[in-house]
Amino acid sequence: GQNIDQPTEMTATEGAIVQINCTYQTSGFNGLFWYQQHAGEAPTFLSYNVLDGLEEKGRFSSFLSRSKGYSYLLLKELQMKDSASYLCAVRVYNFNKFYFGSGTKLNVKP
Amino acid sequence: GAGVSQSPSNKVTEKGKDVELRCDPISGHTALYWYRQSLGQGLEFLIYFQGNSAPDKSGLPSDRFSAERTGGSVSTLTIQRTQQEDSAVYLCASSPAGGETQYFGPGTRLLVL
């Protein structure tokens, strides 16, 4: 089966840096994705890793270690609008299926 | 249209009735996905279409759920004899062939009374 774990909730301060971890156990790994979802809205794509290492995209970076089944999303210079749920998702070769974690709710406080 | 659209945006139905949910993907996107999201939960994969065919239907929760896609475009998800546990947000996403990401629609919020 597929197993994706991420913390349920995190709190951080405006202007700070926060790291959201995701661990996974899957067969046929074919990429790891991070999505942002504001309450009551659809998820929007943030980042994608298929090879080990760090992908940087403005204030957001994502890291992948395939041997450890581990990824993290790093958010810098936090803003109040970053308060949202962050979903980790793994794509597998089997029919391009995506498996999502339950999401990490990030609360950014002033 | 610019993005993925879904209709209806909200649906309230009585237990036992059938419902049909519609998804219009981004033009030219060959891959289409249906997910279900219960309150405060992650996304549960339901079914994936490549063109008009669904190579993997294993995510459908029961035989009351079915989906089809015609013309490589519009898809409908049908739930027969709805139950209260079917209440959730049903999200559709599309992706270009070989695309790295999915673009999500706004979802249909289904409430079964």
Alpha-carbon distance A90 to B37, whole Å?
17
Q: Residues B55-93: pLDDT tens digits?
A: 878 889 999 999 999 888 999 999 999 999 999 999 999
Backbone φ/ψ region at A31: left (φ over 0), alpha (ψ -120 to 50), beta: left
- Quick: pLDDT tens for A33-85: 999 999 888 899 999 999 999 999 899 999 999 999 999 999 999 999 999 99
Spatial strand order in the sheet of B5-7 = B5-7, B19-24, B75-79, B65-69
Mean pLDDT of B39-47: 86
Buried b / exposed e along B7-25 (16+ C-beta atoms within 10 A): eeeebebeeeeebebebbb
DSSP β-bridge partners for residue B56? B48
Residues of A in contact with B3 (CB under 8 A): none
User: Tell me, what's the pLDDT at B98?
Assistant: 62
Which residues on neighbouring strands pair with residue A86, listed in sequence order? A36, A104
pLDDT at B1 over 60: no
Of B45, B100, B105, the CB nearest to A97: B45
* Other beta carbons less than 10 A from residue A36's beta carbon: 20
CB-closest option in A42, A96, A100 to B106:
A42
Query: Which residue of chain B comes nearest to A94, CA vs CA?
Result: B56
Residue type present at position A35: Y
- Does B90 lie at the interface with A, CB-CB under 8 angstroms? no
B105–A43 CB contact, under 8 Å:
no
> What is the DSSP-derived secondary structure letter of residue A51?
S
